[in-house]
Structure 1
Amino acid sequence: MALRYGSSTDANIYGLKICNVPRFVCATQEYIDKHGEPLHPHDLPCHNGLVYQLSDIIHDVWEFSKDGMDFKIKVSENRASNDGDLVRRWCVAGQGIASKSGLDMPNELLNDRVVRLLPDFELKPTELWFIFPSRQSITPVAQLLRDMLRKKTAEVLHSLIEKGLVDKSVLL
């Protein structure tokens, strides 16, 4: 069993969707004060992006949408990691701008340790899945764990909605 962002493309993997996951561009106020605030995704290459790397692929192209128009922006970066928590810590330390899931940084967003940037532009959302190696692995205990995960993630998402960081449509 594992938690995974995005649905599996492997037909041999079985999964139960936990929730939709909003994503945010964020940085500390100190970073913004020092380097300025990007007002459009096209401003991001002038900033230091903090990016995630998975299987030797650096995720330095961020996909945005606004009013039905899509933007793909390649960010400039001097730090990449295959550890999403390290990217979060770099962001909280004021090292640059990160694209992060609302589930990865809820406390930082809710307690204003980081600021959501570009609120008029939505990052392409993702989904959180609870995956299994076989259908037989989806036991009643695993289903109870799924239900607990759905409840916990819904609580986090409701907090983000109450703070005005995300629209309630994320719950659909």
Structure 2
Amino acid sequence: MPWIDELMATHPGLNLRVQITDTNVDFYRDSVDMALRYGAPSDTNLYGFKICDVPRLLCASPDYLSRHGRPIHPDDLENHNGLFYQLQDIPFDLWTFKRGDEEYRVKMTGDRASNDGDLVRRWCVAGRGLAIKSCLDMSDDLLAGRVTTIMPDYAPPVSELWLICPTRQSITPAMRLLRDDLRAKVGELMNAMIAGGFFPPDRLSGGKKDA
């Protein structure tokens, strides 16, 4: 929201009505012009712009690690508490990691799950357990030292951030303005996290796929 506030201050002709939800809205039912989503659009009828690749990171607070130890291999996770995002009451508790050509799948246990991704972030910062989160969601906490990354050699799957809309006619100058501003600001943030050692540059493909 601070990024959008800055954009609106620079371009006072813009108006904003926002819905914040961790589920996919129906563009027509909910009268939404555009949406910012993780993951490439699966509906071929939608149009949009890829903003960036988004590394996902295994994170915990320093306090949690001081009390429970730092896992160094996926097999160590069975001794730790998972914090889960859930969709339609199904928690995402099967965690996948890759190291080179090897893939590891871990069925986690944990005492907290929520359909609100930001609540999972706050639990992680508060030292309640481990969470796999988008680096964008955790960027402020990572750069401030409130959380740290774990098992950097074992990478969860990379996601994508997309700005999408229901029709080609919805690709307005305002949407292109927001797209360009988001790409610039996300790029600065990604560079700061790479410089901080939170993930290597090769976790980003750098592709910008427009549809």
Among candidates 127, 130, 147, match of residue 114 of structure 1: 147
Quote the Cα distance in structure 1 between the aligned partners of 2:41 and 2:173. Answer: 22
Q: CA shift at 1:124, angstroms?
A: 0.6
Tell me whether 9-18 or 82-91 shows the greater mean CA deviation. 9-18
Contact 2:152 2:199 in 1 (8 A): no
Quote the Cα distance in structure 2 between the aligned partners of 1:36 and 1:59. Answer: 23
Quote the Cα distance in structure 1 between the aligned partners of 2:138 and 2:167. Answer: 31
Q: CA shift at 1:171, angstroms?
A: 5.4
The structure with the greater share of residues assigned to strand is 1
Tell me whether 53-62 or 114-123 shows the greater mean CA deviation. 53-62
Instruction: Please say if 1:56 is aligned against 2:89.
Output: yes
TM-score (norm 1): 0.96
The alignment yields a C-alpha RMSD, in angstroms, of: 1.1
Among candidates 194, 198, 201, match of residue 161 of structure 1: 194
Quote the Cα distance in structure 1 between the aligned partners of 2:101 and 2:198. Answer: 20
Identify unmatched segments of 5+ residues in structure 2: 1-33, 207-211
Residue 185 of structure 2 corresponds to 152
Number of residue-to-residue matches in the alignment? 172
Residue 31 of structure 1 corresponds to 64
Give the letter for the 1:23 counterpart: R
Instruction: Please say if 1:21 is aligned against 2:54.
Output: yes
Quote the Cα distance in structure 2 between the aligned partners of 1:58 and 1:133. Answer: 29
CA 1:138/1:14 → structure 2, altered by over 3 Å: closer, same or farther? same
Contact 2:48 2:162 in 1 (8 A): yes
Q: CA shift at 1:35, angstroms?
A: 1.1
Give the letter for the 2:197 counterpart: G
Moved over 6 A (4+): none
Residue 12 of structure 1 corresponds to 45
Q: Percent identity?
A: 52
Contact 2:85 2:91 in 1 (8 A): yes
Contact 2:84 2:112 in 1 (8 A): yes
Tell me whether 116-125 or 51-60 shows the greater mean CA deviation. 51-60
Larger Rg: 2
Quote the Cα distance in structure 1 between the aligned partners of 2:192 and 2:171. Answer: 30
Identify unmatched segments of 5+ residues in structure 1: none
